[in-house]
Structure 1
Amino acid sequence: MTERTGTLILAGTPIGRAEDASPRLRAALADAAVIAAEDTRRLRRLTAELGVRPAGRVVSYYDHNERSRAAELIEELRAGRDVLVVTDAGMPGVSDPGYRLVTAAVEAGVPVTALPGPSAVTTALVVSGLPCDRFCFEGFLPRRPAERARALARLADEPRTMVFFEAPHRLPAALTAMVEAFGADRPAAVCRELTKTYEEVRRGPLAELAAWAEPGVKGEITVVVGGASAPEKTADPAELAAAVADLERRGVPRKAAIAEVARRDGLPKRVVYDAVVAARR
């Protein structure tokens, strides 16, 4: 190994418009000794649109050669050459090649960094109109119906907003399967061609979206689905009234007792108050 190893750089590329590329991405494309691209033709198209001429060697790095190419790229890094990894769109490693190379680089003690860029996951999330404070990314669903149904069944009680990628020709079947797993009324959004000329965001209940998609949909698809609602808490009014009465016997004022029982049981104070009134009647 040379005294200085190269750095593995994961670069986020535009998901639609080339002008979304950052100045750092432009510089990295021009300067990297090696560029590992998911599709070298798309890379050439992107660099042409950006007016960038790569000085380094360009190699293909995609699903079917990811494992074998990783060893070659690690040797480039060991020799002190920086390796820039780019996918067709978005961040390498997020449902795209990159994870295996990062793992190999970490094991080899090679520095790993990233150039932030656009992400279909977070872009779809923020325009969906669904809660963004907590979410989970589930990538592509299994292609086989039975496996897809099992995967969705495991997510039926997931409380966080969920983000999925889906191929356009599989979208109707995927949405129908979500209706079966999550219910017809679960809120969702289908985001198509994000940041591109024909961007479209369809929001509504899953059943409505499944019917809309049935004739066929084109373009890059990201689906955002609302999380499961927490089950409504119920309580026996007689038990609530008895709990308030017990606190009152201990010297707690009625108003404070109602507030305490409501807090303890996770209920609105009005529910406890109504139970007390009903018991007195």
Structure 2
Amino acid sequence: METGSGRVVLVGAPLGNVGDASTRLRDVLASADVVAAEDTRRLARLARDLDVTVAGRVVSYFEGNEERRTPDLVDALRGGAVVAVVTDGGMPSVSDPGYRLVRAALEAGFGVTAVPGPSAVTTALALSGLPSDRFVFEGFLPRSGSARRARLRELAAEPRTLVLFEAPHRIGDALADLVGAFGADRPAAICRELTKTYEEVRRGTLAELADRAAADPPRGEITLVVGGAPVIVAARPDDDELRAAVARREAGGVSRRDAITAVAEEYGLRKREVYALVHAP
């Protein structure tokens, strides 16, 4: 329940091309009482490129001071301030500063809204050429090799497309570990410098991308998209076994419709085929 007029506005900033800035982004930067910026110099450059005057108080808000500065921003909310959060690019709180303030504002009863904008996650996913109907965003992998390899082993069987952020100086090691955990032939794409002058998308198998990265290391901001693990479909049982599989799920408390859907997905069948078997006279 909201208790005051103060509110947080998460501002989706351009990833690189200033032409992607929305009218609402301009309006919020110009009117917010406080602008919490991941990099105040980049904010100043963005405002200059947009011909916007930031009239409110500008404070730095990045990983190193986020925890310490959040209480001050909540105090500003109590005074009725509109606090805009802007990162170097993309949506705040998605692997960027903002999450702590969102939680603190909500717990204190203040509203949180967003000015939608560019996202490296969905942009890379769309450009990758890999399945995009279902995906998992994993953020940055652990920095240490042993921790990274352990996390990749946990993700190896994930059937959904995987989206990761990675630093240029670690991309070679990350790709080598991905080959080890996921196999050489898993399809993937390295998307770098999205919307910027030197935007590039490298597509291929993990092994091909690892070899190319070793010979020509990608530079700039990198989003890595990896195809999901192949789904192994069980052999189709006979009709009586299919009916029994649906019945077992129903006995466990699952609705008939959901039981039919689950059995159809397990065996790679059409739902109407399983439905017809279950409802056959």
Q: Which residue matches 2:221?
A: 220
The Cα offsets for residues 84-103 of structure 1, whole Å up to 9 and x where unpaired, read as 00000100000001111100
What pairs with 1:142-181 in structure 2 (closer than 5 Å)?
Answer: 142-181=142-181
Conserved? CA contact 2:39–2:61, under 8 Å: yes
In the alignment, what sits opposite 1:275? none
Distance (Å, rounded) in 1 between the aligned partners of 2:113 and 2:266 = 48
Question: Pairwise mapping of residues 1-281 of structure 1 onto structure 2 (< 5 A)?
Answer: 4-215=4-215, 216-234=217-235, 266=267
Inter-partner Cα distance in structure 2 for 1:108 and 1:214: 49
Aligned-partner residue type, residue 160 of structure 1: R
What is aligned with 1:278? Answer: none
What's the C-alpha RMSD, in Å, of the aligned pairs?
2.1
Q: State the identity as a percent.
A: 60
Partner SS for 1:223: strand
Measured in 1, the distance between the counterparts of 2:265 and 2:108 equals: 53
User: Partners of 1:131 and 1:221 in 2: how far apart?
Assistant: 19
Letter in 2 for 1:74: V
Closer/same/farther in 2, CA of residues 58 and 204 from structure 1, 3 Å limit: same
Report the TM-score, using the length of structure 1 for normalisation.
0.83
Give the aligned residue type for 1:229: P
Q: Which whole-Å deviations, capped at 9, do the CAs of 1:90-145 have from their partners, x for residues lacking one?
A: 00000001111100000100010011000000000001000000001000000100
- SS of match in other structure, 1:53: coil
> Structure 2 length as normaliser, TM-score?
0.83
User: How many Å apart are 1:226 and its aligned residue?
Assistant: 0.4
| Pairs aligned (count) | 245
Q: Which runs of 5+ in 2 are unaligned?
A: 242-263, 270-281
1:153–1:264: structure 2 CA closer, same or farther, 3 Å change rule?
closer
SS in 1 for 2:188: strand
SS in structure 2 opposite 1:95? coil
